[in-house]
């Protein structure tokens, strides 16, 4: 057990038999009614996005709030793309990750001193091995306030701003994104949900940028009933990864 930022964190490891240990640390933080789990990732390691790519495991965060309150949808920043050993593609985060949500409930938030809890799991990897970790986080309301961290990570959220239309062949799509005032080029295209796979990506530069791709169920999976959100990752010069989120309705991809 370790103490971090005034809260108790129970960390449990499971990994290869070579004695690897969990190094990622996490804590509950807030910015007013917005709460999050902040992961501190050691140099040389990474953790994964909701869609880990060709290998890995999604990072998972489940909040449990005082009676009368609930957590809204989780918010995930645009990840980086990794090319892992064996030419395996992954999506995730280095150095730090903040996953957050907004508290839904009576105005004013939970009563002072009431408990906010989160169950967290992740897979941390470097170029040699991976180790899984999980934690049970608990802290009294109000939580540790970290507005600067939330501002920093909010700037990395995917933007809305693209559209898509069927492109003839089953599962084939053309995504169109206005590129005015953007810099840098498209680096990757991926579905947020690992049950969907994006392949055969063809990018045609211009304004708008047009991206041809195929969206299909992952092996052994069905496409999400509510449709698929696809993120187009691009990197402006000398800046962090950015992205545009595009919704593909379920009825159009089955």
pLDDT of residue 252: 53
pLDDT at 5 over 60: no
Q: Residue 233 and residue 230: Cα distance in Å, rounded? A: 10
Kindly report the three-state secondary structure assignment for every residue of the chain: CEEECCEEEEEEEECCCCCCCCCCEEEEEEECCEEEEEEECCCCCEEEEEEEECCCCCCEEEEECCCCCEECCCECCCCEEEEECCCEEEEEEECEEEEEEEEECCCCCCCCCCEEEEEEEEEEECCCCEEEEEEEEEEECCCCECHHHHHHHHCCCCEECCEEEECCCCCEEEEEECCCCCCCCEEEEEECCCCEEEEEEEEECCCCEEEEEEEEECCCCCCCCCCEEEEEEECCCCCCCEEEEEEECHHHCC
pLDDT band at 19 (very low <50, low <70, confident <90, very high): low
Measured distance between the N- and C-terminal CA atoms of the chain, rounded to whole angstroms:
47
Q: Residue 97 and residue 41: Cα distance in Å, rounded? A: 8
pLDDT in tens, 183-232: 888 999 999 999 999 999 999 999 999 999 999 999 998 888 888 999 99
Mean pLDDT of all residues in 173-191: 91
Structural contact between residues 146 and 38, judged by C-beta atoms closer than 8 angstroms: yes
**Chain centre distance of CA 232:** 13
pTM over 0.75: yes
pLDDT at 6 over 80: no
Q: Where are the domains of the chain?
A: 2-154, 159-252
Task: For residue 96, count other CB atoms closer than 10 A to its CB.
Answer: 14
pLDDT of residue 11: 47
* CATH hierarchy code of domain 159-252: 2.60.40
Range from 20-24, 70-74, 93-97, 143-147 carrying the lowest mean pLDDT: 20-24
pLDDT band at 168 (very low <50, low <70, confident <90, very high): confident
pLDDT in tens, 69-102: 999 999 999 999 988 888 889 999 999 999 999 9
238: Cβ–Cβ under 8 A, 6 or more apart, which residues? none
pLDDT band at 16 (very low <50, low <70, confident <90, very high): very low
Q: How many CA atoms lie within 13 A of 19 on its CB side?
A: 0
Domain 2-154 sits in which CATH superfamily?
Answer: Thiol:disulfide interchange protein DsbD, N-terminal domain (2.60.40.1250)
User: What is the overall mean pLDDT for the chain?
Assistant: 88
């Amino acid at each position: 057990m370790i103490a971090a930022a005034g809260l108790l964190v129970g960390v449990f490891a499971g990994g290869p038999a070579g004695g690897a240990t969990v190094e990622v640390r996490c804590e509950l933080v807030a910015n007013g009614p917005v709460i999050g789990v902040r992961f501190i990732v050691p140099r040389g390691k990474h953790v994964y996005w909701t869609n880990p790519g060709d290998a890995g495991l999604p990072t998972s965060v489940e909040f449990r709030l005082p009676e009368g309150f609930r957590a809204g949808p989780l918010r995930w920043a645009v990840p980086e793309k990794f090319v892992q050993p064996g030419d395996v593609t992954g999506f995730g985060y280095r150095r730090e990750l903040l996953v957050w949500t907004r508290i839904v409930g009576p105005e004013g938030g939970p009563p002072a001193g009431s408990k906010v809890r989160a169950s967290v799991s992740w897979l941390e990897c470097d170029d040699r091995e991976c180790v899984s970790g999980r934690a049970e986080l608990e802290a009294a309301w109000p939580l540790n306030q970290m507005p600067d961290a939330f501002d920093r990570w909010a700037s990395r959220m995917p933007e809305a701003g693209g559209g898509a239309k069927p492109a003839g062949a089953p599962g084939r799509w053309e995504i169109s994104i206005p590129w005015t005032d953007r810099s840098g080029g498209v680096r990757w295209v991926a579905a947020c949900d690992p049950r969907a796979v994006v392949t055969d990506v063809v990018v045609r530069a211009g304004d708008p940028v047009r991206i041809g791709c195929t969206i299909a169920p992952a092996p052994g999976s069905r496409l999400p009933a509510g449709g698929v959100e696809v993120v187009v990752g691009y990197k402006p010069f000398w800046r962090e990864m950015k992205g545009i989120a595009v919704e593909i309705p379920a009825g159009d991809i089955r």
